[in-house]
Every structure is written in C-alpha cells, then in structure tokens.
Chains A and B, each alone.
Chain A
Amino acid sequence: MSDAVLRVNNLQTQFQTRAGVLKAVDGVSFEVARGRILGLVGESGSGKSVTGYSILGLIEAPGQVAGGEVLLNGKDITRLKGEAMRQVRGAQIAMVFQDPMMTLNPVLKIGTQMIAAVRAHDRVSRKVARARARDALAKVGIPSPEERLEAYPHQLSGGMRQRVAIAIALLHSPAVIIADEPTTALDVSIQGQILAEVRRLADETGTAFVWVTHDLAVVSSLADDICVMYAGRVVESGPAADVIGSPRHPYTAGLLASVPAEHEPGTKLPQVPGSTPSLANLPQGCAFAPRCAKAGPACTTTPPVQKFEDGRTALCHYPIEPVSCQPLSLTSTTYRSAS
C-alpha cells in the first residue's frame, strides 16, 4: 500500500482540562489507498471521531493536535494554518457527519448551501456552481435533483439528507472523505442503500473513505481494511475479512463475540466485561488489560505493536493465534468490491 492517498502517522490529539491532559488520540497511525474504504471501529469514547476531526484540523479549543503527521498525497497538513488549511478542507479532503438532521442548515435551501460549497474553492458563476451541485446530487442517486436544489432540509427524509451531505462532500472530488458514523441515525434499509452507494462511489471516483463507526456489521460488509481503536490507540489493524474472520487482539475478539448475528436466539449474549476506561484515569500499560481475559503479568507495561506477516498488526503482549477457518460474515450482504 505504498500508493496511500492519506497516511496518518503517530497522530496525537490532546485536550487540556482541569483533570489534566487527556490523550483522546494517542499515537494513531493508518493509511488509505485510492478508492479503498478503511473502517475505523471503536466504542464511544475510543477517539475515533476525534481522529476524524483532527485530520481535518477541526479540533476546537481546549483540544489540539499535539503531534504526528497527516500526509495527504505525501504532504503534511497538520501544520497548515488558516487560509492554507481552508483550501484543503472540502477540496482535497471532505467530511460527512453523523446526524443528517443537524448537518444541513435548516434555514437555507439545499441549492444555496451547495453553491456556497462549490464556490468556496472554485471561482465559478452561480449558474455553473448550480449545475455542478445538481450533477453531484444525481451522482449520489437523488431523484429529480433540480427540484431538490430548491428544497429546504426539513422537506427531505433523513436518508435523503445524508445523500445530500455525501454529495456536498463529493463536490470537489476530494482524495479522501472522512465519514463519521454517517448511517448511525438512519434505519437499516436506508443504511444498506447508502453503503452500496458509497462503495460504488469509491470504486468509480477513486475517492478513499475513512468510515468511522461503532458498528462491526457495517464495517465487515463495507470496508477493505479495519482499524480497531481502544482508548485513543489503534489496537488492531488489517484487511477487513481477516480481522473479522480471525481477530488477533482480545478486544476485537470480544467485540465480535458480542455481535448478535452469530448466536442462537435466546442464548445469553457474551459481552466484553467492564466499560471503557476514563481518559483521565487510564490503567498503566495496556489500557484494555483490566477487561481482558488473556491479561498476564506483562500487561502492566505498554504493549508492543506486533506486526504479522499478512500485513496485520495488534497492540498486545499476548495476541490470539490465527485461525484458518473460513471467515464468518456478520451480515448477509456485502458491499465490498470483488478486487
């Protein structure tokens, strides 16, 4: 994967609070290649959304990106300020947010918002901008896009609004789109449609996606690669099918075991014991150790990044041995491309 369009190296995002410095993102590294989809998975508070915001430089005080680099086509964008960063945002790297009810301005027409987004980076006439907005809406599968431009957000359904948000993100054909749980607020059938659409867009336009989610089922059906985050760190990464089929980190294994699809109805669902630790009060060494069945004496020291021969990594002293059985699918559908 040397052709990565986005490479995140040892990213650190910290929040200065009264309780001390919180390391919301602590040394996260990953990369995405053209047209690929990376699933960034984790529980609430694992730092996955903050990672997304950090990449775009949208962390607000008292938070700040304290270290590491974000290489977009080889260029570090964490040091860009003001106008230089603005020119990157939306043009080369875009973002889609979680709640489509909140991300569009309720008092502005869809067209007005899209035209502003086009003209933020390209000096074109309103007419040209409008035509591009219309084409973008058509591209994400919105029927009669011309009329939708005249609509206000409240006149569209949640799924439709999220398509509009994705269309806005696509306006400038960015190299990367960060999607922060964009289907969480939608019902399952709409989610399916959007996932299929995103897969198609990634294949057709070559845009790479970083798909932030807590939903393993979504990731298993959509992503090419997976990064599992826990307490601000990537604890496991690798190709999606391999990670789902044979997790090497105990935390990933625990998450997968708690997906209902794999269990007989009526039986007790296994769960990862305990809850996510507070960032203000992380355990020494491995942050997952107190909840881990495999924890041993070494776990009080910071675990090493174990690199395996198949391109996978795990942040663990005692990684699980690989199993070679056929990977189970968490859902009946898959949006992953055949390649």
Chain B
Amino acid sequence: MIGFLIQRVLQALMVVIAMSIIVFLGVYAIGNPIDVMIDPASDQALREALIQRYGFDRPLFEQYFIFMNNMLHGDLGESFIYRLPVLSLILSRLPATLELALTAMLIATLLGIPLGLWAGYKPDSLSARAIMGFSVLGFSVPSFWVGLLLIMVFAVELGWLPSGGRGPTTEVLGMNLSITSLEGWSYILLPAFNLALFKLGLLIRLTRAGTVEVMSSDYVRFARAQGLSEGKVVGLHVLKNISIPIVTVFGLELGSTLAFAVVTETVFNWPGMGKLIIDSITVLDRPVMVAYLILVVFLFVMINLVVDLIYGQLDPRIRVKAAS
C-alpha cells in the first residue's frame, strides 16, 4: 500500500517535470511575453528594466531552474499581467470551477446510470431506444452550440433562468460558492447541464453496455433462480459488477471537466479557471500557465489514485493481486 502510494507520487513528479519543461519551451517558442506586457511606444530603458526584472535576459534553462527552485520553496511566482501571486489567483477561481464541475458530474451520474441501467435491462424497448438516441446526441452535438441553444430557450425565450454569470455567492470554508442559495442554483443550472451533456451520453452508453453483458451472465440467472426480485438483481448483482468502468470514466471526466471546462465557462461567462487559462495563454502569462498545468497534473493524479483505491473496494480480485 505504502509502496503503491510512493510509486504514484514519483510518477506524478515525473509528469510535473516533463510538463513544465514542455510548457516553458512552448511559451518561449510562441513569443516574447515582454511584447505583450508593455506598451510598444515605451522607451528602451523601461523595456530593458522589465526584461531584467523578470529575468528574460538569462538563458532559458536558467529561467527554468529559477522557477523550479522557487516552486520547491512554495513560490509559484507572480502573474505577469495581474501582478498577483499565481497561487492565490488560481485558487480564487478554483471554487467556481469546482462547483460547476461537480454539479455537472452529479447531473450526469444521477441521470446517466439509471437511464443506462434501464436501457440495458430492456434493450429492445422503445424507451431504451429513445435513451440511446439521446445519448448519441449528447456526445456528438458540439457543446458551445448546445450552450447557446440553452441560453436562447431558457434565458431569452422563456426567461426562467439567467443567461450567464455566477450570481450571488456565500463564503463556505473560505470558498465562495453559489450552490448554497436558490438564486445561485438558477445561475449554475444551465452551464452545469451544458457541461453534463457529453458525460451523460458517455455514462449512459457505458452503463448500458455493462448491464447488457451482466444480465446474460450465469450469476444473474442463478440470482433469479433464488427468487431475488428484479430490483435486487439489478441493484445488488448488476450495479456492482458494472461499476469499475463507470468509476474509471467518472474519474477521467471529473479531471478533464475541472481542467478544461473552458468552452462552457466562456459561453456562460462563468468566472472559473478555464477562462483564466485561456486569457493567460493569449497574453503569454507563463507563470499562470505553468502553475495551472501543475495543478491540473496534481488533480489528475489525485483523482486516479482515488479511483485505483476504489477499484480494490469494488473488485476483490484486484485487491488480492495488489497485495501479493
């Protein structure tokens, strides 16, 4: 167990190092941040001073080592643009993205698994076909278009929900959240549903495929021969057996939603991390980019770690292999 954790942390470190090198080289290749930062009309002396101040005059590898050294001391640097510590900049945006992503995953899971179970339980029924048709739409229609459509129908035509922004927030455990108030929910509902749509389609298909397979297994037949009710057969025997692929995809999707909810955040003007990274890329705000991506790596590693630990809980055969 301890060995497994150490192995995971080392893997994460490798990824962080490789990723930071790539980002450093990439930003260097794109252009010089100094050109974006200062007025082209400003004089040479000011320009030189800034170059000196940010260390752009040094060789790239030296800049990289200075950055990494600072990072090891807990200092991720300061944004070129906002003139704020990168960490607090990102963390100030994190709660917005966190609650959006989690709400979206919640919607996708609470709808997707029951719908998928039903579609797999009665694969030939009309309702199952309708569900499968919907799932195809869910992950094939571009999300920005669905987002615009949702705004048009629910915000513009019907006027039920606001068209964008985050609405009022309350502070919970040092994070500003909008899901604590009813009005906050009215703001989060549309973007969360928009974000959930792709995952919903994916989870429906995944759950259905697993259910169809398990329903034809001998142990389901045996459970029925014991007189277990259909609810018990599905809830006890089927659900646990199909949960491994579901948990895997759930983890991957949660990670990518947290990191890359950019399109939805842009369409709904949601002040999350996705918008921050896009803005930073356009102005070559390197410290924000690198720090953000390190955070993303950290999130993915953590989520995958949790998923791996859940595997063992779900399937005892995996647990035994890990122990031996």
Chain A residues positioned under 8 Å from B314 (CB to CB): 107
Contacting residue for A105 out of B219, B224, B225, CB 8 A: B219
A116 to B222, CA, bound (A): 12
User: What 1/0 flags go to B214-246 for Cβ under 8 Å of A?
Assistant: 000111011111111100100011001100000
Write the residues of chain A forming the contact surface with B, with a CB cutoff of 8 angstroms: 56, 58, 86-91, 94-95, 97, 99, 102-108, 112-113, 116-117, 120-121, 152, 154, 165, 168-169, 171
Tell me if B317 counts as interface (CB < 8 A to partner A): yes
Q: How far is the CA of A89 from the CA of B227 in the complex (A)?
A: 5
> Which one of A87, A97, A102 contacts B227 once the chains associate, using CB atoms below 8 Å?
A87
Give the shortest distance, in Å, between B221 (CB) and chain A (any CB).
Answer: 6
Q: How far does the Cβ of A159 sit from chain B's closest Cβ, in whole Å?
A: 17
Centre residue among A88, A107, A171 by max chain B CB count within 10 A: A107
* A102-B217, A104-B222, A106-B219 known, 13 other contacts, Cβ within 8 Å: A58-B221, A89-B227, A90-B227, A94-B225, A97-B218, A102-B218, A103-B218, A107-B315, A107-B316, A117-B228, A120-B229, A152-B317, A168-B226
* B contacts with A: majority SS: helix
Distance in angstroms between the alpha carbons of A339 and B227 in the assembled complex: 33
Q: Which of B223, B225, B236, B240 has the most CB of A within 10 A?
A: B225
**Chain A positions within 8 Å of B236 at CB level:** 108, 112, 116
Partner of A165, one of B222, B224, B227, B315: B222
Please state if B237 and A90 are interface contacts (CB–CB under 8 Å).
no
Please tell me which one of the listed residues A95, A106, A112, A152 contacts residue B222 in the complex, with CB atoms under 8 A apart. A95
Known: A106-B317, A152-B316, A154-B316. A97 touches B222 (CB 8 A): yes
Q: Give Cα distance in the complex from A105 to B320, angstroms.
A: 17
Q: A88-B227, A120-B232, A154-B316 are in contact. Are A107 and B241 (CB under 8 A)?
A: yes
Is the CB–CB distance between B224 and A89 below 8 Å? yes
Partner of B225, one of A89, A102, A106, A152: A89
List 18 interface pairs A-B (beta carbons < 8 Å), by A numbering: A58-B224, A58-B225, A88-B227, A89-B224, A90-B228, A91-B227, A94-B226, A95-B225, A102-B217, A102-B218, A103-B219, A105-B240, A106-B219, A106-B315, A107-B240, A108-B237, A116-B226, A121-B227
B265-324 CB contacts (< 8 Å) to partner A: 314-317, 320
CA distance A88 to B224 in the complex (A): 11
By a CB distance below 8 angstroms, the chain B residues around A88 are 227
| Interface set of B (CB-CB < 8 Å, partner A) | 217-219, 221-229, 232, 236-237, 240-241, 314-317, 320
The 6 closest A-B CB pairs, nearest first, are A90-B227, A102-B218, A89-B227, A90-B226, A95-B225, A152-B316
CA distance A97 to B220 in the complex (A): 12
B219 contact set on A, CB distance < 8 A:
102-106
A57: shortest Cβ distance to chain B, in Å? 9
Chain B residues near A120: list those with CB within 8 A: 226-229, 232
Q: Are A103 and B222 in contact (CB under 8 A)?
A: yes
Q: Which residues of B contact A165 (CB under 8 A)?
A: 222
Q: Chain B contacts of A117 at CB under 8 A? A: 226-228
Give min CB distance, A293 to chain B, whole Å: 39
Residues on A with C-beta less than 8 A from B221 are 58, 97, 103
Residue of A nearest to B222 (CB): A103
B225's nearest neighbour on chain A, judged by CB, is A95
User: Please, how many angstroms separate the alpha-carbon atoms of A264 and B118 in the complex?
Assistant: 59
A121 to B225, CA, bound (A): 12
In the complex, how many angstroms separate the beta carbon of B231 from the nearest chain A beta carbon? 11
Please determine whether A105 and B241 come into contact, CB atoms closer than 8 angstroms: yes
With contacts A108-B237, A116-B236 taken as known, whether A154 is within 8 angstroms of B317 at the C-beta atoms is yes
Set of chain B residues within 8 Å of A94, measured between Cβ atoms: 225-226
- The answer to whether A89 and B237 touch (CB under 8 A), given A102-B219, A107-B315, is no
Given contacts A99-B218, A152-B317, A154-B317, contact A105 B223 (CB under 8 A): yes
Distance of A58 Cα from B237 Cα, bound (Å):
17
CA distance A80 to B317 in the complex (A): 39
Cα of A112 to Cα of B237 in the assembled complex, Å = 10
Q: Which residue of A lies closest to B319 (CB)?
A: A152
The smallest C-beta distance from B112 to any residue of chain A, in angstroms, reads 21
Measured between alpha carbons, how far is A106 from B317 in the docked complex, in Å? 8
Q: Which of B217, B228, B315 contacts A116 (CB 8 A)?
A: B228
Cβ of B122 to closest chain A Cβ, rounded Å: 11
B121 to chain A, nearest CB (A): 13
Which A residues are CB-close (under 8 A) to B232? 116, 120
Taking the closest CB of chain B, its distance from the CB of A239, in whole angstroms, is 29
Complex: A56 Cα to B222 Cα, angstroms: 11
